[in-house]
Structure 1
Amino acid sequence: MMKMMFNPMLSGALLACLIAAPAQAQETPAKGEKSVSAAPSYPPFQIIVADERYDYLSDADKRTSLWPSLKYIPITDGSYLSLGGEIRPRVEAREHMGFGRGAEDSGLNSQLRSRLWADLHVTPNVRIFAELQSAFTTGEDVAGPAVDQNPLEVQQAFVEFSTSPSSQGSLALRLGRQQIMMGKRRLIEPRGAPNYMRAYDAARLLGHSGKWRFGLMGGAPVRDELGTLNDSTNDDWTFIAGHVARKMDEILPGSDLELLYIHTNRKIAPMDRFVGKRETLSARFSGKNGGLDYDVELIGQHGKAQTGTGDQQKVRAWYVGTDSGYTFPVAWQPRLGLKVDIGSGDTNPNDNRMGSYDFLWSASMTWTPELGYTNLISAGPTLRVKPMSKLTVDLGSAGLWRTTLKDGLYNLSHRQIRSVAEGRSRYVGLRTTAKVEYQWNRWLLTGLYVNRTFAGDFLKETGDSKDMLHSALYTTFRF
């Protein structure tokens, strides 16, 4: 059993080393040879891989090693193909992911996520992007969802039409299956932490002009299905959205203001209160100035939500969040921060108003979906240090409370895991997290992540109150 669990980790790490080593070696000239650039500098990888552009490698003199040769494969004058991929083997330990209630996976399991994408630039203004992705999990005691096990799917497949960049700005229209990320990922994101990522079948218009960025989009998330090449559009949860953002240097150097509006129509949900039409408006102010970085977001929701009797209630929900900190100019570059997430709950089930906040397709507060943002206060300090240039250590601690005593506790799947009738306390528990990552080179990273959440008074009152543990040892190779 242990051999089966660790095989994906070992084989993935070995493959990463075999591929990364030649690429890195070719960037260092042999002794006595003249070097054009002993240490080429490339733009950083993007979370959304389709946002990466490699036009700057059109000069053959810049493609003298394996990696740039894969990123720019000339076809004809003005057209080229770019290839990329990722492999992430991971060994996990899970204990009491439901805090002691229901069927729970325990012990070790191994996961392997593999991605391969191709970006064909037919002309400078037309491109076709496609990505295949697979996710495997072995060693589970309880069969997991499609986010753990999805053998092979088309993760992305879209065509993009764009204008040529100019001093006036640019426009791009993407049509098809695509990953989407907005802002701090508090409402729409590609779900990078789980084994299988999230995509959307959508039409999206993106533009920028000077200090302005803007866009429109509409579509639906892709429904994750167990099986091969069978993921489909989730027509039961559609959206239309628009956003506008502007750099606000005249107010505060390095700052940015972003507004996001999302109309959603959900026909089926794990709980009736999340069924219905919601209008979500977000205002986010973020930036960096010297050692200070800040990110504050306010979200309001209104609309109509369904009740268990089939009636409708007016939605009046909200969210407040911040992830801000200061990096001190001393050894190890310590960043001391504060992270707060507060989502509203329903204060009265009989007043014809629904106060339970719907976090839509938000990123999880941790790497696992044990808690969602509905009716939850999560607040605490964070600390990041860099003992070495390639080594980063992140530590965090957060107290967890119910926002209102009149609502229960929810997970990231919009399911209520503890009802309001099960306890009277506000205190849910204490979460402690640690992440250590070593960036071997541009392509290869190894990390360890641990989340230990201690059950508080409310969970103890429900009768099921086991402390939760999730840890993961992983290696990510990307090219």
Structure 2
Amino acid sequence: MKNTFFLLLLLGIFFSANAQQKPVFQKLRYEDDFKYLKADSTKNFYEKIKYIPLSLNENYYASVGGEARLQYTYTVNDKWGDESDEGDGYLLSRYLLHADVHLGIFRTFFQLQSSLANSKTDPSPVDENLLDIHQAFLDIDFIRNEKQQLTLRSGRQELMYGSQRLVAVREGPNSRLAFDAVKLFYKNNTWQTDAFFTHPIANKPGTFNDSFNENARFWGSYTVIHKVPFIQNIDLYYLELWKSRSVFNDAIGEENRQSVGTRIWKNKGNWKYDFEGVYQFGTINEKNISAWTISSFACYTFENLKYSPEIGLKTEIISGDKTFGDNQLQTFNPLYPRGAYFGLVALIGPSNLIDIHPSISLTLSEKWGLGIDYDIFWRQTVSDGLYAPNMQLLYSGENTTKRFIGSQLISNLDYTANDYLAFTLETGWFNSGSFLKEVGTGKDYFYAALTAQFKF
């Protein structure tokens, strides 16, 4: 592990020393844009692979890129002592390599992913997937100019919308999430709308075996409107999920679920905010679904104070099932959220939950940052259970009336070596509450994780 961290450091230093202009890497790597290099006649080796002209036509070019992430994690009291009350360490590594080819109105993007888990007991497919095609899609541009774009995209692709509460690339876990999908999207300077039909990929251990998933379908539309008076930005969306089998505390079977939601947000300036509401309806095994969530986040940055402290407060209410054994299900399904929902080593998923989450972050220097947040969790209803981020039922709520789950304190120390290489040390302590002590061993959980990430 030490040698690999050292290699990433050397690569980061090498690319930083040879770069003539700072690159910008997007969360969705197919959104990287290196066309600015076409006018540079003195490109170095790195810049030559980021912009490869394929003809005299400037709209014919290719680009190559990738990333590597290493993450060593040490835990104590896995699943609050129910799985292990001893300390345990393991190393997760993820490697991504992509090629992006533009041929006029056509564009193809291809990406491989390899996710490895060393020393982890019984790793899941999200932890370890030796090698597979992560993305492979074709774009056809019907309209594309400086003012607007209309594109049809088909093939295996990543999707990410809004605050990633419902649709995300699952960046936190070791294997990112992709979809076999057809998507039509339009955007201009003030709004964008997407319509898509997908089959979410079910990762399988092994090599090139993430086949077409017939057991789940996910489709809908997502619209973002910018420059709205007073509220700045607003998202409007409709999402529909079908799964051949879903498991909740009070329902098992075929699930048909629709989600209607809106989000009001602002991410620039001293004041930032994000307010979102979702209502879900449908059926699961002859039960009617009626679920909901409300989320609010607001923060303020004191730019004139030392270290520019940013103070934030997030609160969420996420519905759980009210009555066990009836023909109704009020358990909220977060669909395909970011995996690290409450911390890097996510213990709790966003369902049947009330949480209050104050935070503070400090910019210690140009390269160093520090963040501290504290989270308090309760079950929204005492008749429903506690779920993991993937909606696996961790503990049933049938035989307990305890509501308080516990509290969690997390700190993040970030170091950005350069535009290519970054390190994060995250530590977390979960103080078990009365619910965890009644349904299980209920020991306090601790983890520390060191992450190195290199992008090129």
TM-score (norm 1): 0.90
Q: 1:122 aligned to 2:103?
A: yes
1:59 is matched with 39
Q: 1:448 aligns with which of 401, 417, 425?
A: 425
Q: Which amino acid aligns with 1:316?
A: S
Q: Which amino acid aligns with 2:414?
A: E
What displacement does 1:170 show? 0.9
2:449 is matched with 472
Q: 1:84 aligned to 2:59?
A: no
Q: 1:371 aligned to 2:345?
A: no
What displacement does 1:163 show? 3.5
CA–CA separation in structure 2 for the residues paired with 1:457 and 1:443: 45
Contact 1:162 1:172 in 2 (8 A): yes
Q: 1:318 aligned to 2:292?
A: yes
Report the 3-state secondary structure (helix = DSSP H, G, I; strand = E; otherwise coil) of the residue aligned with 2:144. coil
CA–CA separation in structure 2 for the residues paired with 1:409 and 1:83: 43
CA–CA separation in structure 2 for the residues paired with 1:41 and 1:224: 34
CA–CA separation in structure 2 for the residues paired with 1:54 and 1:325: 33
Q: Which amino acid aligns with 1:185?
A: Q
Contact 2:132 2:208 in 1 (8 A): yes
Cα RMSD over matched residues?
A: 1.8
Report the 3-state secondary structure (helix = DSSP H, G, I; strand = E; otherwise coil) of the residue aligned with 2:452. strand
1:97 is matched with 78
What displacement does 1:174 show? 1.2
1:211 is matched with 190
CA–CA separation in structure 2 for the residues paired with 1:79 and 1:414: 44
What displacement does 1:40 show? 2.6
2:5 is matched with 13
Contact 1:22 1:66 in 2 (8 A): no
Q: Which amino acid aligns with 1:478?
A: K
Q: 2:124 aligns with which of 128, 140, 145?
A: 145
Contact 2:288 2:328 in 1 (8 A): yes
Contact 1:134 1:151 in 2 (8 A): yes
CA–CA separation in structure 1 for the residues paired with 2:309 and 2:164: 24
Q: Which amino acid aligns with 1:100?
A: G
CA–CA separation in structure 1 for the residues paired with 2:187 and 2:100: 22
1:232 is matched with 211
The change in CA–CA distance for 1:210 and 1:463 in structure 2 (over 3 A counts) is closer
> Per-residue displacement from partner, 1:286-334 (whole Å, max 9, x unpaired)?
014531000111011000022xxxxx11111001112320000122110
Q: 1:327 aligned to 2:301?
A: yes
Q: 2:28 aligns with which of 29, 48, 51?
A: 48
Report the 3-state secondary structure (helix = DSSP H, G, I; strand = E; otherwise coil) of the residue aligned with 1:120. strand
1:309 is matched with none
The change in CA–CA distance for 1:173 and 1:96 in structure 2 (over 3 A counts) is farther
What displacement does 1:98 show? 1.6
1:135 is matched with 115
CA–CA separation in structure 2 for the residues paired with 1:446 and 1:392: 11
Report the 3-state secondary structure (helix = DSSP H, G, I; strand = E; otherwise coil) of the residue aligned with 1:469. strand
1:175 is matched with 154
TM-score (norm 2): 0.94
Report the 3-state secondary structure (helix = DSSP H, G, I; strand = E; otherwise coil) of the residue aligned with 1:388. coil
Contact 2:143 2:151 in 1 (8 A): no
Q: Which amino acid aligns with 1:50?
A: Y
Q: 2:230 aligns with which of 238, 248, 251?
A: 251
CA–CA separation in structure 2 for the residues paired with 1:40 and 1:14: 24
What displacement does 1:237 show? 1.3
- Which is richer in strand? 2
The change in CA–CA distance for 1:477 and 1:257 in structure 2 (over 3 A counts) is same
CA–CA separation in structure 1 for the residues paired with 2:281 and 2:212: 25
1:32 is matched with none
What displacement does 1:168 show? 5.2
Report the 3-state secondary structure (helix = DSSP H, G, I; strand = E; otherwise coil) of the residue aligned with 1:476. strand
Report the 3-state secondary structure (helix = DSSP H, G, I; strand = E; otherwise coil) of the residue aligned with 2:334. coil
Q: 1:396 aligns with which of 373, 378, 384?
A: 373
What displacement does 1:103 show? 6.5
Contact 2:66 2:97 in 1 (8 A): yes
Contact 1:318 1:357 in 2 (8 A): yes
The change in CA–CA distance for 1:345 and 1:273 in structure 2 (over 3 A counts) is farther
| 5+ long unaligned stretches in structure 1 | 1-6, 28-38, 307-311
CA–CA separation in structure 1 for the residues paired with 2:421 and 2:299: 28
What displacement does 1:273 show? 4.7
1:345 is matched with 320
Aligned length: 449
Contact 1:240 1:263 in 2 (8 A): yes
What displacement does 1:53 show? 1.9
2:363 is matched with 386
> Per-residue displacement from partner, 1:16-57 (whole Å, max 9, x unpaired)?
233332332234xxxxxxxxxxx6344x31111011122222
Q: 2:88 aligns with which of 97, 107, 118?
A: 107
Identity of aligned residues (%): 27
Report the 3-state secondary structure (helix = DSSP H, G, I; strand = E; otherwise coil) of the residue aligned with 2:81. coil
> Per-residue displacement from partner, 1:62-99 (whole Å, max 9, x unpaired)?
x5333322210112123111011111111111223322
Q: Which moved more, 1:221-230 or 1:102-111?
A: 102-111
Report the 3-state secondary structure (helix = DSSP H, G, I; strand = E; otherwise coil) of the residue aligned with 1:19. helix
CA–CA separation in structure 1 for the residues paired with 2:95 and 2:441: 37
| 5+ long unaligned stretches in structure 2 | none
What displacement does 1:451 show? 2.0
